[in-house]
Amino acid sequence: MAALSLLSPIPSSASLPPIYSLYHFKGTLQSNKTSSTSISGGFRSSWNLRIDSKAGKRQLGLMVSRNGGGGELDDMDEGQIENIGGQDEDDEEWTQAHAPSSSSSPERWDVLGLGQAMVDFSGVVDDAFLEKLDLEKGTRKLINHEERGRVLQAMDGCSYKAAAGGSLSNTLVALARLGCPSITDRPLNVAMAGSIAGDPLGSFYRTKLRRANVNFLSAPIMDGTTGTVIVLTTPDAQRTMLAYQGTSSVVNYDSCLASLISKTNVFVVEGYLFELPDTIRTITKACEEAHRNGALVAVTASDVSCIERHYDDFWDIVGNYADIIFANSDEARAFCHFSAEESPISATRYLSHFVPFVSVTDGINGSYIGAKGEAIYIPPSPCVPVDTCGAGDAYASGILYGILRGVTDLKGMGELAATIAATVVGQQGTRLRVQDAVELARSHDFRLNSVGTDVGS
């Protein structure tokens, strides 16, 4: 079968990168427009807030327990949140070496992601802790404002940290790190849109992403409360998640979002948005605007249960607008209404009849890239697993990086994505580390000018 021709490589000296248009069922990504100058400046990353000291944990516990539970957390200023914990050494070293020289925005964004913006509070607890709070291990549950305060207060004495969290933000941070200025003359311009409040947690979220060179561009909702997710991990590595949606439950389409999308090369929609009331209208209008301006549309599957509950809405977007889809094997089968006995490669091939570029991960078994009814198998990259959370997010960043950098070898693109995922699996935490990103991008630089790989080979 003929090779799937991807983007022409972007010369390192180029200051006017192309916008890319992927033509359905023709298997071709080609440039059809030019954009303007890239963002100047460097790259800083500091998105984790570690809360390890007893005093820090007690301070947060007292703050969230007052005023009916959770009120004081909303009243803290950003400096107080920062002072509870400390900066990661990796972040501090990178900040000193690569502080940006300008805060100006680019005229075009390489990638704009639309997703849920929520601050993560991640803690290590035992089974007794879950039993005390009557929580079912390994589940995801929506909680209200008061419940959030009670759980955080109960975590006094546990080891935990706060971060600008979310599946989409994991992908965007990894992408920004892969495309940082130390690797190329033209860093990737990466941004996110969503809903945060005009509160300290919202400022914390925006600041941490900005230091990771991901710009959060949506204006804050002044009378709201930023959403949070409490992630409780037990010694058997099971995660119990408690989500307080806050402002993240409302994502509206307005002139500001339309303007951002009109200046975007790749528009990524997070699958979790399909869970929110009336959001399908926002997603539809956003995808229409993206296609009208020649941008690629990528959709992340996010969760099997989410697909099952909103199957028709997903297919309205995937079938009519998606150029790229990211899913794991279970999610891919859910899209196809396949049984668990069906192979991931069958699901990949099926989806590729409807979506030009399909990316399906299958854990330790490897992954697949599909196009035009065929699929390429990507073997897993060897690693000693430490934490599998965030592997799919990291894999997606590798695919996006390959597309934006003009990789023409699909197998090589998949191998880069698999290596990035394995790197994240081999560490504690969901984010690709700065130095790892630099080394990975440099080691795979030779693939930017490599020849195409036949789909199905």
Boundaries of every domain in the chain:
106-117+166-224+248-452
Token pair of 80 as six digits: 């107080």
Report how far residue 122's alpha carbon sits from residue 153's, in angstroms, rounded to the nearest whole number. 13
Residue appearing with tokens 């408690």: 242
Contacts of 138 (CB under 8 A, 6+ apart): 238, 239, 240
DSSP state of 357: E
Sole residue written with tokens 């941008």: 295
Mean pLDDT, contiguous 10-residue spans, the chain (457 residues): 33 30 37 29 30 42 41 56 46 44 76 95 89 91 90 81 88 92 76 95 94 94 92 83 91 95 98 91 97 97 93 97 97 97 97 97 95 95 79 93 88 92 82 83 64 47
Q: Which of 38, 45, 36 has the alpha carbon at shortest distance from 185?
A: 38
* Integer Rg of the chain from CA: 21
pLDDT for the residue 46: 30
Please state, in angstroms and rounded to a whole number, the distance separating the CA atoms of residues 239 and 103.
37
Q: What is the pLDDT of residue 186?
A: 79
pLDDT at 42: 27
Per-residue confidence (pLDDT) for residue 184, from 0 to 100: 60
SS (H, E, C) 226-240: CEEEEEEECCCCCEE
CA distance 408 to 101: 33
189: which 2 tokens? 């311009």
**What pLDDT shows up at residue 391?**
87
Residue 71 · residue 35 · CB < 8 Å? no
178: left (phi over 0), alpha (psi -120 to 50) or beta: alpha
Burial 381-396, CB ≥16 within 10 A → b, else e:
bebeeeeebbbbbbbb
pTM (two decimals): 0.79
Q: Are strands 264-269 and 296-300 parallel, antiparallel or unpaired?
A: parallel
Looking from the CA of 176 toward its CB, the CA atoms found within 13 Å total 29
Phi-psi group of 454: left, alpha or beta (phi > 0 → left; psi -120 to 50 → alpha; rest → beta): beta
Rounded CA separation 52/69 (Å): 22
Query: What pLDDT score does 81 carry?
Result: 55
Nearest to 252 by CA among 214, 284, 227, 225: 284
Helical H runs in 328-371? 329-336, 344-351
**Distance in angstroms between the alpha carbons of the first and the last residue of the chain:** 9
What distance in Å separates the CA atoms of residue 317 and residue 302, rounded to the nearest whole number? 14
Best CA proximity match to 123, nearest among 169, 90, 85 = 85
Residues 180 and 173 sit within 8 Å (Cβ to Cβ): no
Residue that is written with structure tokens 């080979």 in the block: 457
d(CA 380, CA 319): 29
Q: Give the integer Cα–Cα distance in Å for 400 and 317.
A: 19
Provide the 10 A C-beta neighbour count for residue 136.
Answer: 10
Separation of alpha carbons 275 and 279, rounded Å: 8
Q: Which residues contact 185 (CB under 8 A, 6 or more apart)?
A: 12, 13
**pLDDT number for residue 56:** 45
Residue 253's CB is within 10 A of a number of other CB atoms, namely 18
Helix axes 279-292, 311-320, angle to 10 degrees: 10
Give the residue carrying structure tokens 């630099």. 438
- What is the CATH architecture assignment of 106-117+166-224+248-452? 3-Layer(aba) Sandwich (3.40)
Secondary structure of residue 267 in the 3-state scheme? strand
pLDDT of residue 124: 84
pLDDT at 382: 85
